[in-house]
Structure 1
Amino acid sequence: MNYVSVGDMAQSYQLRRHGVQLKTVMTQLTEEVMTGVKQDAAKAVGGNFGPLAAIDRTLSMIEAYDLSAKEAGLRAAGMQGALGLMQESAADLGTGLLALSGAANPQPVQAALADAAQRFEAVIFALNAEVAGRHLFAGAASDTTPVAGADAILTALSTQIAGLANAADIEAAVAAWFDAPQGGGGFLDAAYLGSYLASGPVQLAEGEGISLDLRISTPGLRQTLTGFAMAALVGRDMVPQGDQLRADLAQAAGEHLLSAESALVSFRADLGVTEAAIEDARTRNSAEKSSLELDRIELIGADPYESATALQAVETQLETLYTLTARLSALSLADYL
């Protein structure tokens, strides 16, 4: 019988090559056990990657839609919070001012008006809020603070009412300043810093989008700011002195605040519908994502039992290879002879 001799160097090379192969297979099987996905995707799909690519593309789109919906939900919640603060403050202040309008003692009226200035500042701060780096009420200019500060607005109004000594004239001047159209030298020109263009629609799913385009330039919001500003002017002593004039302006401010409440309620109701649409879209996207992930597992999923059994077999082979390598390394010419 003829024997083929294998040199020590060739034998060492073969052992190393077998070790590398076994380690590679073990790594692949370990990944399969951990991820539940076959490492050889081409073999799993029989070389036809079309269905798998379509699933992966749809999953990527759903992730993008979900991120967009999350941001839209945060923006809608932020807008809802700002409008809620505005509505609550308008209702409390408006009711309080009307209740005190006929009071003989001017002290309670003065106390309510002092609170009005603080409420006006809080409302302006809320309207200038931003979520995820985007201002909520600035239209397309979401990177711009949409409205000037309360002090700047009151300073501009003090110029408009300079020289007026009648409560009705002051009320009309303040209302006209807030109601003036763009180019009329009023609020839109002096205090509104946002865009007159609508912010773009937000895509929630394939062919489904919503709009979050409530701007401070909207008449309903400007009407509410009219009442706050009028009360703040009196509270900061920026109108002529006189108890009756101050009481009349306080009553006018309360009427403006309460008459604007219906607009705020409408805005908040529309936002509620939008928030529900966002939540529904996210629910549908989540369900579709789960379904597609199951389909993907059907295509390239690895059987856990099969992968674990194969992994155990490879570990046994690798241990055997290490044992043989150790024994062969211990051989010597003296032992052979």
Structure 2
Amino acid sequence: MKSSFISSSAIQNAMRLTIRQAQNQMTKATMEATTGVYADIGVSLGGNAARSVDFSREVDRIASIKSSNSLVTARMESSQLGLSKMKDVGDGLVSKLTALQGSHDPGSITVAIQSATSALSTMMDTANTMVNGEYLFSGINTDVQPLTDKTTATSAAIVTQLNAYAAALVPPKAVKDLTGAEMSTFITTKVEPMFTEAAWTDPTTGWSQASSQNMTSRISNSEVIESSTNANSEGMRYFALASVMTSALLGQGLSSDAMSTVSKQAISYTTKATSGLVTQASQLGLSQERVKKSNDALDAQSNIIKNKLVDLQGVDPYEASTLVKTLETQLETAYTIVSKIQQLSLVNYL
């Protein structure tokens, strides 16, 4: 009779191998049950792995565009708030100047001058607003402060030209004797040209270092929009013109007729300013609407691609969870067997 040997060590080694394989399978199944996708895309998909990579890359690209769009939206929203604030201040200045037309007493004149000075200060502060390290109203020169206050120099130049204008009349006149028609001519021929775009952006004497070219942003594969505005617009130039002219001329002891002309012209310029600011806001509003529509389209595109990814690399979570439980049972059984084998000893049978 031939006897055969059964080694408890061989059984233990076999069980250890089984345990190691089950642990690897369990790690993979647990990951798939948690993430809902194959643990190893390359092994599971084979030749289709390239498609999975392409889809994932496209989803990431869309997410990158949307992230950029959120920054663009924030910049335009902040710009809208600034333009709205300037318009409100301009409307307030019109109210003060309108009141001046009904009364030229020193108190009303002082209030009008103070209002003009305050309105210009607010406009300057708002135009120099910075968000996320960029100036909102600098056009493409986002790292350069757009406006520098030239009120003192400009007011002095206006007064100097006013005196020269009055002295050049035939016959010469004192400033206090200028008529409304003469004051109107002075404003349109001498003061208004000080606020043309060329004078406004003059590198030496100008108010603005902003670029007249606005920023552009790509908001989708095929769409590029203007995503900023700038301080060289007619709205801001007319705003400064109305404010500086008011503060410079109303304190020159003008006749009632000339003072009425100054206030009328200032009202006209301020109205043009607020109209220009509304136009800037409208242009930004159109860009904001395009960004919103682009984001909606990108969301729809992303959802379609994500669904394709799920179809391509997705696993059944229920099946993966069931496999995890099965493997847990197998491991518990294997651990029990190994434990029993380790407790075997010939001593127990001697």
After superposition, residues 190-269 of structure 1 pair within 5 angstroms as 190-199=206-215, 201-233=216-248, 239-240=251-252, 244=256, 249-269=262-282
**What are the superposed Cα offsets for residues 72-105 of structure 1, whole Å, 9 maximum, x if unpaired?**
1112212211111122221221133123223143
Kindly indicate whether the alpha-carbon contact (under 8 Å) linking 2:243 and 2:266 is maintained by their aligned counterparts in 1.
Answer: yes
1:158–1:314 Cα change, 3 Å: same
Please report the TM-score for the alignment, with normalisation by the length of structure 2. 0.82
Q: Return the match for 2:194 from 163, 172, 177.
A: 177
1:161–1:252 Cα change, 3 Å: same
**What are the superposed Cα offsets for residues 206-228 of structure 1, whole Å, 9 maximum, x if unpaired?**
11121124221223331222223
Please report the TM-score for the alignment, with normalisation by the length of structure 1. 0.84
Q: Which position in structure 2 is the counterpart of 1:157?
A: 154
Q: Structure 1 residue 314 and structure 2 residue 327: aligned?
A: yes
Moved more, 202-211 or 159-168: 159-168
In the alignment, structure 2 segments of 5+ residues that lack a partner are 164-174, 176-182
Q: Which position in structure 1 is the counterpart of 2:137?
A: 137
Q: Distance in 1 between matches of 2:245 and 2:203?
A: 13
Please give the secondary structure, in 2, of the residue aligned with 1:313: helix
Once the two structures are TM-superposed, the CA of residue 189 in structure 1 deviates from its matched residue by 4.7
Kindly indicate whether the alpha-carbon contact (under 8 Å) linking 1:179 and 1:186 is maintained by their aligned counterparts in 2.
Answer: no
Q: Distance in 1 between matches of 2:255 and 2:340?
A: 109
Q: Which position in structure 2 is the counterpart of 1:97?
A: 97
After superposition, residues 101-112 of structure 1 pair within 5 angstroms as 101-112=101-112
Decide which structure has the larger Cα Rg and report it.
2
1:309–1:240 Cα change, 3 Å: same
After superposition, residues 78-93 of structure 1 pair within 5 angstroms as 78-93=78-93
Kindly indicate whether the alpha-carbon contact (under 8 Å) linking 1:204 and 1:278 is maintained by their aligned counterparts in 2.
Answer: yes
Q: Distance in 2 between matches of 1:84 and 1:251?
A: 24
Count of paired positions: 328
Moved more, 302-311 or 246-255: 246-255
After superposition, residues 53-64 of structure 1 pair within 5 angstroms as 53-64=53-64
Once the two structures are TM-superposed, the CA of residue 312 in structure 1 deviates from its matched residue by 0.7
Please give the secondary structure, in 1, of the residue aligned with 2:269: helix
Q: Which position in structure 1 is the counterpart of 2:301?
A: 288
Kindly indicate whether the alpha-carbon contact (under 8 Å) linking 1:177 and 1:185 is maintained by their aligned counterparts in 2.
Answer: no
Q: Distance in 2 between matches of 1:17 and 1:295?
A: 38
1:262–1:158 Cα change, 3 Å: closer
Identical columns (%): 24
Q: Distance in 2 between matches of 1:229 and 1:12?
A: 96
1:2–1:283 Cα change, 3 Å: farther
Q: Which position in structure 2 is the counterpart of 1:115?
A: 115
Q: Which position in structure 2 is the counterpart of 1:304?
A: 317
Divergent runs of 4+, >6 A: none
Kindly indicate whether the alpha-carbon contact (under 8 Å) linking 1:192 and 1:216 is maintained by their aligned counterparts in 2.
Answer: yes
Please give the secondary structure, in 1, of the residue aligned with 2:218: strand
Q: CA RMSD in A?
A: 3.0
After superposition, residues 12-91 of structure 1 pair within 5 angstroms as 15-91=15-91
**What are the superposed Cα offsets for residues 89-125 of structure 1, whole Å, 9 maximum, x if unpaired?**
2122113312322314331342243233222222222
Once the two structures are TM-superposed, the CA of residue 268 in structure 1 deviates from its matched residue by 1.9
1:261–1:195 Cα change, 3 Å: closer
Please give the secondary structure, in 2, of the residue aligned with 1:205: coil
